[in-house]
């Protein structure tokens, strides 16, 4: 397993839910963290008194190309390197095939797909230089199968899985490994309105964070391309 000592990880959407759980988990393990969120102050509050030498919080908007570039540049300027990128920021908007609401499709594509794409493209030189660069994309089981009418969300998450495999091919010879983590219902704000099952029966963010940490720590010769995580019995394929 790779030691976290000295390794720098960027985590998007780190102010709540899965992203905050990942930040807390990685902080406890000793990683140096660059945490991106639309509300950076809330990240600082949630993590408490974090040492600036080990943790920084940066205002970040996945829809904004300049914001993506500024976050990557700030991370390199502060820490001198990037060893891993966790693309967690994402949204869901209810829109189906017959809905004439392309704005919803566009917004999910911009945040769920193009945001990670931009960050990966910008961080790739540093990830290659690391020799053991890691990209973890938080997708969804909706990126592996379709069980409802929310076509727009599923399409964006299928695309994120495809992006993950493209990154694996691109960076393999330089030690870059990419993993798509695809959970079912997670007990976060995003699933707060769901009545599919009780909150306590959903995947807990802290448990998903453990899987992110595992993906970051696996050596180059034990790469995992996809992790499918469910909280109920289901035929996966």
Which candidate in 31, 71, 79, 153 is catalytic? 153
Q: Which residues pair with 136 in a beta bridge?
A: 86, 179
Distances from the Cα of 184 to the Cα of 57, 88, 216, angstroms: 28, 15, 21
Nearest-Å Rg of the Cα atoms of the chain is 17
Residues 197 and 185 sit within 8 Å (Cβ to Cβ): yes
Report the C-alpha gap between 225 and 180 in whole angstroms.
6
Q: Is 105 a catalytic residue?
A: no
Q: Identify the CA nearest to 142 among candidates 101, 177, 87, 91.
A: 91
Report the C-alpha gap between 200 and 145 in whole angstroms.
24
Report the C-alpha gap between 86 and 77 in whole angstroms.
19
SS3 content of the chain, % helix, strand, coil (to 5): 45, 15, 35
Q: Rounded to 10 degrees, what is the CA torsion of 158, 160, 163, 167?
A: -130
**Which residues carry out catalysis?**
153
């Amino acid at each position: 397993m790779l030691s976290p000592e000295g390794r720098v990880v960027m985590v998007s959407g780190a102010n709540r839910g899965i992203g905050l759980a990942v930040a807390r988990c990685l902080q406890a393990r000793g990683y140096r963290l660059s945490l991106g969120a639309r509300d950076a102050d809330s990240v600082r509050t949630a993590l408490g008194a974090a040492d600036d030498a080990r943790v920084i919080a940066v205002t970040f908007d996945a829809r904004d190309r300049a914001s993506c570039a500024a976050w990557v540049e700030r991370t390199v300027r502060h820490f001198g390197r990037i060893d891993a990128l966790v693309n967690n920021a994402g949204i869901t908007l209810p829109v189906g095939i017959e809905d004439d609401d392309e704005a919803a499709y566009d917004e999910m594509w911009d945040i769920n797909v193009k945001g990670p794409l931009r960050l990966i493209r910008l961080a790739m030189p540093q990830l290659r230089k690391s020799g053991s660069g890691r990209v973890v994309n938080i997708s969804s089981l909706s990126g592996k199968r379709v069980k409802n009418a929310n076509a727009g969300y599923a399409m964006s998450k299928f695309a994120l899985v495809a992006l993950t495999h493209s990154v694996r091919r691109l960076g393999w010879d330089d030690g870059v490994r990419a993993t798509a983590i695809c959970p079912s219902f997670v007990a976060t704000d995003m699933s707060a309105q769901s009545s599919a099952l009780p909150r306590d029966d959903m995947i807990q963010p802290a448990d998903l964070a453990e899987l992110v940490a595992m993906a970051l720590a696996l050596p180059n010769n034990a790469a995992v391309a996809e992790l499918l995580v469910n909280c109920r019995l289901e035929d996966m394929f």
